[in-house]
Amino acid sequence: MSDTPIRILIAKPGLDGHDRGAKVLARGLRDEGFEVIYTGLRQTPEMIADAAEQEDVDVVGLSILSGAHMALLPRTVELLRERGMDDVLVAAGGIIPDADVTKLKEIGVAEIFGPGTSIGQIARYFREHVRRPA
Amino acid sequence: MNDALTELAMGGRRPLARLLTRIENGDPSVRPLLPELFTAGHGAHVVGITGPPGSGKSTLVNSLITEWRRRGKRVGILAVDPSSPYTRGAILGDRIRMMEHAADRDVFMRSMASRGELGGIAATTWIAAAALDAAGYDPVLIETVGAGQSEVEVARVAETTVVVEAPEMGDEVQAIKAGLLEVADIIAVNKGDRPGADRAARQLRAMLSTAGGRVERKPPPVMVTTAVTADGVAALADAIEAHRSVAREPLEAKERAANQVRRALAELAGRRAADDPSWDETLRAVADRELDPLTAAECLLG
C-alpha cells in the first residue's frame, strides 16, 4: 500500500494564535501529494491524540510557537502511545531552543523543523521515515 | 465471527480506525469481510449532508452531533473533502468545526479524501459507513465535498439526504433545476440569521411544491437553521429522524438498492474488463476508430 497517500494530522497545541506557518505547511504538503487533516488552533493534547487515533494518521505534525513545547509535546506523545499509536511519527515545527530539541527527541519526537526548513525537505523526511504496518 | 469484526463490536476505536484505512486504500483483505460487515450492522440510519462549499455543512454537522449526543446517541461521521486531481493530495478541514467532540468517546469522526471520485464522496464511503454501523454508531453522517449541482452520489448511499443551502443561493430558477435539490429529502436553509433566509426558504417551498423526482412523493420539508447558535437544529434532527421510516418504505429502499447494485455492477464490469487479455487490443481498436465504444464494451463483457 505504499502508493496510497501519506496521511498527516496538523495541529496547533496550546494557546498561541499564529497559524500561518501551519496553514502554509498544510497547503505545501497537499501539493506534495499528502492527505492533510487540518484541525486548527488551540488544541489540547487530548484532542490531538483522539483525532489522530480516529484518523489513523501516519504522521502527527505539531506547530508550536508559544514556548510551552516542553509541556505540550511530551504530553501529546504520551497520549498517542497510550492509544497504541506506537508507529505514528511525531514531528514538530516552530521556535524550539537547541537544548530542548535533544530532550524532545529522547522522549519520542522524531524530528523538529525550525525556521527556514523548506516544505520539500519536510515532505522528503516524512516519505523516508513513515512507518506503516505490514 | 472474524477477528476484525469482533474487535469492532467491542467498541475499540483503534481497530475501527485501522479498518477504515484498509477500506479507503482498497486493501484486498476487506473484500472477504464485506458480507459479514454488512450483517454485523445494527441498521444505523445513514444520513447524507450535502450542499455548496461554504453553506455551513460542517458547522451544521457539529450542531447536529451536539443535539444527538443530548439524545443519547452514538454518532459516526464521515467527512469527505476533495483530492487534488494533479497531486492526489488533499486538505481535510472538516474537523476544524468539530474539534469540540474530538475527545467524546461516543463520537467517531473520520475525514476521507474523495480520491478521484467526482460525485461528492469517495468510492469506498459506503463501506466505511457500514463499518461505523457495525461498530455501533447510529446515526452515521456522511458530509460530502462542497457540492455544485450534480454531485448526487451521496443519495445512493444515504437513506436520508439533507441539502444545505445558504440564503444567497440565487433566484427561483435555481430551485427548479435538476440535480442536487432533486435528491433532497430535507432542505436546510442555513445561516438563518442572515437577511433573506426566510424568503429563500419560502421560495424553495413554493418552487418545490410541485416536485416529482425519484419516487412519487411529497416535496421535501424546507427548514431554516442557524448552525452557530443551534437555532432550528433540534427541529432538523427531528425531521431527519422522522424521515428514517419513510426511507425504509419498500419502494424507497428498493430504489436505493437498485442504485447501489448498478454502481457496483459498473465497477465490477470495469475491473473485469480491464483484466481481460483483449483489453489493450480493444482500446487500440477504439482509438483507431475501428470500433465504437459500445460495441467494444459488449465484446469485453461477452
Q: Does the beta carbon of A5 lie under 8 angstroms from any beta carbon of chain B? A: yes
Selection from B129, B80, B58, B140 nearest residue B107 by Cα: B140
At B4, list the grid cell: 476484525
> Quick one: cell of A24?
502554509
Q: Contacts of residue B113 in chain A, CB cutoff 8 Å?
A: 5, 35
DSSP element (H, E) containing B214: none
Ranges in chain A, pLDDT < 70 = 1-2, 133-134
Q: What is the pLDDT of residue B12?
A: 86
Question: Which residues neighbour B95 within 8 Å (Cβ) at sequence distance 6 or greater?
Answer: A37, A38, A39, A40, A51, B79, B102, B109, B111
Q: Would you state the cell numbers that stand for residue B258, as one nine-digit string?
A: 437498485
- Provide the CATH number for the domain formed by A1-43+59-68+84-134 in this structure: 3.40.50.280
Task: Tell me the three-class secondary structure of B49-72, residue by residue.
Answer: EECCCCCCHHHHHHHHHHHHHHCC
Q: Which of B29, B58, B91, B98 to mutate to test the interface with A (most CBs of A within 10 A)?
A: B91
Number of CB pairs < 8 Å for A and B?
89
Q: Do A29 and B13 touch (CB under 8 A)?
A: no
- Contact call for residues B73 and B241 (beta carbons, < 8 A): no
Residues of B in contact with A54 (CB under 8 A): 13, 17, 102, 108-110
Contacts of A38 in chain B (CB under 8 A): 91-93, 95-96
Residues of B in Cβ contact (< 8 Å) with A29: 89
Asked if A31's CB is within 8 angstroms of B84's CB, the reply is yes
What is the distance of C-alpha B165 from the center of its chain?
16
Query: pLDDT value at position A127?
Result: 94
The answer to whether B139 touches B76, Cβ cutoff 8 Å, is: yes
pLDDT score for A2: 55
Q: Kindly state the DSSP code that residue A38 receives in the 8-state scheme.
A: E
The β-bridge partners of B143 are B49, B79
Cell numbers representing residue B252 in the block: 424507497
Compute how many other C-beta atoms are within 10 angstroms of the C-beta atom of residue B226.
20
Res B6: pLDDT: 83
A53, B14 Cβ separation under 8 angstroms = yes
Task: Please tell me the distance in Å from B95's CA to the nearest CA on chain A.
Answer: 6
Q: Which residue ranges form the domains of chain B, and what is each CATH number?
A: 3-248 (3.40.50.300), 258-301 (no CATH)
> Which tens digit of pLDDT belongs to each residue from A18-44?
778 888 899 999 999 999 999 888 888
* A19 close to B (CB below 8 A): no
> By the CB < 8 Å criterion, does A22 face chain B?
no
Q: Best mutation site among B7, B20, B87, B95 for testing chain A: the one with the most A CBs within 10 Å? A: B95
Instruction: Using an 8 Å CB-CB cutoff, list residues of chain B that contact chain A.
Output: 13-14, 17-18, 20-21, 24-25, 27, 83-84, 87-93, 95-96, 99, 102-103, 108-111, 113
Report whether B68 contacts B139 (CB < 8 A): yes
ipTM of the complex: 0.89
Nearest Cα neighbor of B176 from B199, B152, B203 is B203
**Would you give per-residue pLDDT tens digits along chain B (302 residues)?**
577 788 888 888 999 999 999 999 989 999 999 998 888 888 999 999 998 888 899 999 999 999 999 999 999 999 998 888 888 999 998 888 888 888 889 999 999 998 988 788 888 999 999 999 999 999 999 999 887 766 778 888 899 999 998 887 665 656 556 577 888 999 999 999 998 899 889 888 888 776 555 555 678 999 999 999 999 999 999 999 999 999 999 988 898 889 889 888 888 888 888 888 999 999 999 999 999 999 999 988 87
**H/E stretch holding A120:** helix A119-129
Which residues in chain A are closer than 8 Å to B110, comparing Cβ atoms? Answer: 54-55
Closest CA to A20 of A88, A115, A107, A131: A115
Strands A35-38 and A111-113: unpaired
First to last CA, chain A: 9
